[in-house]
């Protein structure tokens, strides 16, 4: 795991567990000073693991500001997922740029597909933050 990911986990007081799951992963809230747990499916590739962890860190960062119950209120669920995806996209685009890629030459549709994002505009908007004006 890279140091930036480790720093993010520490910043949001999170720990990772690899377990058999039905989905790719989820955030399990804990009580007290015990770190919340990011549960990741044990059958994922390294690339998928990183995306899941970033998405779940996005939940840890953004969910406290979401109004409503994630499980029972559709708008709360949508808002929570949007915030988590935005965080993951932000971090992955930051990595993409750090590797020397030019944001104005990037194919945002291909990047979105590789990230599992169907809203291509989210990726395009994040890339535009790096285009010199």
Expressed as residue numbers, the domain containing 100 is 3-128
Q: Is 90 within a domain?
A: yes
The verdict on residue 95 lying in a domain is: yes
Give the predicted TM-score (pTM) of the model. Answer: 0.89
In a domain, 88, yes or no: yes
Separation of alpha carbons 60 and 12, rounded Å: 7
133 domain-assigned: no
User: Would 65 be classed as within a structural domain?
Assistant: yes
The enclosing domain of 79 has a CATH number of: 3.30.2010
> What total of structural domains would you count in the chain?
1
What ranges make up the beta strands (E) of the chain?
A: 14-19, 25-28, 36-41
Distance, first Cα to last Cα, the chain:
34
In 3-132, the DSSP E strands lie at 14-19, 25-28, 36-41
The answer to whether residue 58 is domain-embedded is: yes
Three-class secondary structure of residue 66 per DSSP = coil
Give Cα 20 distance to the centre of its chain: 20
Q: What is the pLDDT along the chain (133 residues), one digit of tens a residue?
A: 789 999 999 999 999 999 999 899 999 999 988 999 999 999 999 999 999 999 999 999 987 766 666 766 778 888 889 999 999 999 999 999 999 999 999 999 999 999 999 999 999 999 999 997 6
| 53 domain residue, yes or no | yes
């Amino acid at each position: 795991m890279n140091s930036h990911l480790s720093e993010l986990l520490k910043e949001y007081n999170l720990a990772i567990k690899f377990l058999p799951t039905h989905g790719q992963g989820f955030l399990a809230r804990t009580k007290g000073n015990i770190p919340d747990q990011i549960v990741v499916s044990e059958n994922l590739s390294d690339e998928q693991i990183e995306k899941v962890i970033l998405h779940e860190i996005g939940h840890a960062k953004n969910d406290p500001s979401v109004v409503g119950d994630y499980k029972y209120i559709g708008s709360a669920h949508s808002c929570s997922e949007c915030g988590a995806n935005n965080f993951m996209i932000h971090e992955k685009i930051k990595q993409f740029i750090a590797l020397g890629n030019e944001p104005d030459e990037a194919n945002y549709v291909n990047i979105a597909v590789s990230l599992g994002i169907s809203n291509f505009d989210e990726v395009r908007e994040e890339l535009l933050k790096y285009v010199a004006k």
